[in-house]
């Protein structure tokens, strides 16, 4: 156990080892560890942000859904209203059209009836005149009694 | 060991003899170099720090490999210890120094667990070295080299952080107050403190590891007494080696922690 030059050599070796560690061993590892810590911190922050974003998005989607539902209900109500309007209009139009057709038909019937009656009356007048003519052939001169015949004819009509 | 008769004294003496080289030319005791201590410790330092360096060189901030994770665990453990004690920028010197000390001292201490006689035989027959002590921390030169380096750093930081005036003020005025009558007492007190720090720092490590080695030698000697001695020697040797894993780690850790504490004390005024 004697102190000698070994002490100085060992101290020299020691300082070289310290220098080596300070220069080459410590910094890269420290850098790696710090970078990883930063990455982890960033990742955690990103996760937190993502969670927050998700919350916001789900909130927004719920709002949009609600709005859409409301709008849908409005549209359906409008459509129903419009449909009933159309039906009402159609009913009115149909009724009008029916009335019009009915009126036309009635007018036609009346016209037909009138013309038939007219024809019938003509026929009856003709028949009466023919009968009367036959009866009165000899006594009645057609030319002299023309105004009389016209009168009768007029009456019959 | 080969030529002389094997006695307990010669056995122990052989194991405790350094391989020395004269560096000064003249035969003075100081210019002797324990070449075994020096080379073993440098090889261990290169193995320990070199391995870490090789792993760290490819360190990725992404998912670390198992080896990188192991190094990171060690480094973060040390870094946490330093962070709790030292309140400056620890990354410029103190934390890397703590890592150096821990790794290096741990490896040097661990050589204590290597079976002494196998190591001695290997050194003799493979490398042709009659004397070669394999545990650098059982050499008081090693522990003093470390402790005195730390001590010099401590004084350097005292002067750097507080200024020479501030440090002198601390030497004369603490811990008993500014009264000029107290100056001699304060100075004496601080002197004792400054002397005892490197002494206790280095001798604690040296004593623990040296005692461990001596006990291994005694256990080894018991094996020479016969079958029963061998049996107990194996049992006790294994037990002591397992217990020594704790001592080896603990002493390396204590040495590192004391270094950090001394350096951080130099940074803080009383």
Q: Tell me the domain boundaries of chain A.
A: 41-156
Task: Tell me how far apart the alpha carbons of residues A135 and A120 are, in angstroms, rounded to a whole number.
Answer: 22
Q: What is the pLDDT of residues A50-105, one digit of tens each?
A: 999 999 999 999 999 999 999 999 999 999 999 999 999 999 999 999 999 999 99
- The per-residue pLDDT for B4 is 52
Give Cα separations from A65 to A55, A68, B51 (angstroms).
15, 5, 63
Angle at B186 between CA B185 and CA B189, to 5 degrees: 85
Q: Indicate the pLDDT class of residue A146, thresholds 50, 70 and 90.
A: confident
Cβ-based contacts of A13 with chain B (< 8 Å): 38, 41-42, 45, 145
Task: Tell me how far apart the alpha carbons of residues B110 and B136 are, in angstroms, rounded to a whole number.
Answer: 10
- Res B1 pLDDT > 60: no
* Predicted TM-score (pTM) of this structure: 0.74
- Decide if B117 is inside a domain: yes
Task: Tell me how far apart the alpha carbons of residues B202 and B182 are, in angstroms, rounded to a whole number.
Answer: 31
Q: Indicate the pLDDT class of residue A141, thresholds 50, 70 and 90.
A: low
- The per-residue pLDDT for A150 is 81
What mean pLDDT comes out for the span A13-38? 90
Under a CB-based contact definition with an 8 Å cutoff, are residues B161 and B266 in contact?
yes
Query: Active-site residue numbers of B?
Result: 200, 204, 208
Question: Residue B21: what are its φ and ψ, rounded to 5°?
Answer: -135, 135
Under a CB-based contact definition with an 8 Å cutoff, are residues B261 and B200 in contact?
no
- Bridge partners, B22 (sequence order): B32
- Tell me the HSE value of A153 on the side-chain side, using a 13 A CA sphere: 12
Element (H, E) at B20: strand B20-22
Under a CB-based contact definition with an 8 Å cutoff, are residues B186 and B173 in contact?
yes
Under a CB-based contact definition with an 8 Å cutoff, are residues B206 and B140 in contact?
yes
Whether the CB of B107 is below 8 Å from some CB of chain A: the reply is no
Element (H, E) at B129: none
Disruptive mutation site among B56, B72, B80, B137 for chain A (greatest number of A CBs within 10 Å): B56
Whether the CB of A41 is below 8 Å from some CB of chain B: the reply is no
- The per-residue pLDDT for B14 is 82
What mean pLDDT comes out for the span B119-139? 86
Cβ-based neighbours of B83, under 8 Å, separated by 6 or more: B90
**pLDDT more than 90, % of chain B:** 46
- The per-residue pLDDT for B250 is 95
Q: Indicate the pLDDT class of residue A1, thresholds 50, 70 and 90.
A: low
Q: What is the DSSP letter of B269?
A: -
Q: In terms of residue numbers, what domain contains B129?
A: 37-267
- Res B28 pLDDT > 50: yes
- The per-residue pLDDT for A155 is 81
By three-state DSSP, how is residue B21 classified? strand
- Decide if B19 is inside a domain: no
- Decide if B183 is inside a domain: yes
Domain count, chain B: 1
Q: What is the pLDDT of residues B74-93, one digit of tens each?
A: 999 999 999 999 988 888 88
CB interface of A with B, residues 130-149, below 8 Å: none
Of A13-27, B3-17, B106-120, B127-141, least confident by mean pLDDT is B3-17
List the one residue out of A16, A31, A121 whose CA is nearest residue B64: A31
- Decide if B140 is inside a domain: yes
């Amino acid at each position: 156990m004697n102190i000698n030059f070994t002490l100085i050599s060992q101290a020299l070796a020691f300082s070289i080892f310290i220098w080596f560690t300070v220069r080459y061993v410590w910094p890269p590892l420290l850098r790696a560890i710090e970078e990883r810590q930063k990455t982890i911190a960033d990742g955690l922050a990103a996760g937190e942000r993502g969670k927050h974003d998700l919350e916001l998005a789900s909130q927004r989607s719920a709002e949009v859904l609600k709005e859409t539902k409301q709008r849908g209900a409005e549209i359906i109500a409008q459509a129903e209203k419009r449909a009933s309007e159309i039906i009402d209009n159609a009913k009115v139009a149909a009724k009008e059209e029916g009335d019009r057709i009915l009126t036309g038909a009635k007018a036609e019937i009346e016209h037909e009836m009138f013309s038939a009656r007219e024809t019938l009356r003509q026929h009856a007048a003709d028949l009466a005149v023919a009968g009367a003519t036959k009866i009165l052939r000899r006594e009645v001169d057609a030319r002299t009694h023309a105004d009389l015949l016209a009168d009768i004819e007029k009456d019959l009509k | 060991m080969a030529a002389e008769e094997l006695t307990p004294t010669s056995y122990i003496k052989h194991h405790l003899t350094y391989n020395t080289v004269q560096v000064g030319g003249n035969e003075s005791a100081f210019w002797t170099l324990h070449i075994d201590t020096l080379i073993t410790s440098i090889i261990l330092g290169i193995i320990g720090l070199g391995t870490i360096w090789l792993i760290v060189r490819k360190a990725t901030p992404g998912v670390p490999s198992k080896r990188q994770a192991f190094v990171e665990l060690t480094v973060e453990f040390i870094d946490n210890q330093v962070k709790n004690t030292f309140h400056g920028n620890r990354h410029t010197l103190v934390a890397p120094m703590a890592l150096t000390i821990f790794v290096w001292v741990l490896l040097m201490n661990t050589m204590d667990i290597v079976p002494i006689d196998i190591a001695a035989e290997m050194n003799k027959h493979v490398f042709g070295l009659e004397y070669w002590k394999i545990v650098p921390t059982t050499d008081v030169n090693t522990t003093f080299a470390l402790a005195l380096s730390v001590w010099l750093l401590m004084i350097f930081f005292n002067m750097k952080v507080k200024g020479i005036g501030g440090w002198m003020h601390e030497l004369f005025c603490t811990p008993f107050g500014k009264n000029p009558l107290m100056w001699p007492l304060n100075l004496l007190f601080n002197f004792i403190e400054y002397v005892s720090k490197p002494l206790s720092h280095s001798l604690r490590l040296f004593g623990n590891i040296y005692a461990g080695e001596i006990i291994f030698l005694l256990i080894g000697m018991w094996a020479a007494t016969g079958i029963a001695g061998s049996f107990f020697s194996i049992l006790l040797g294994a037990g002591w080696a397992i217990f020594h894993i704790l001592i080896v780690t603990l002493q390396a850790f204590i040495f590192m922690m004391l270094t950090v504490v001394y350096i951080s004390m130099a940074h803080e005024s009383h």
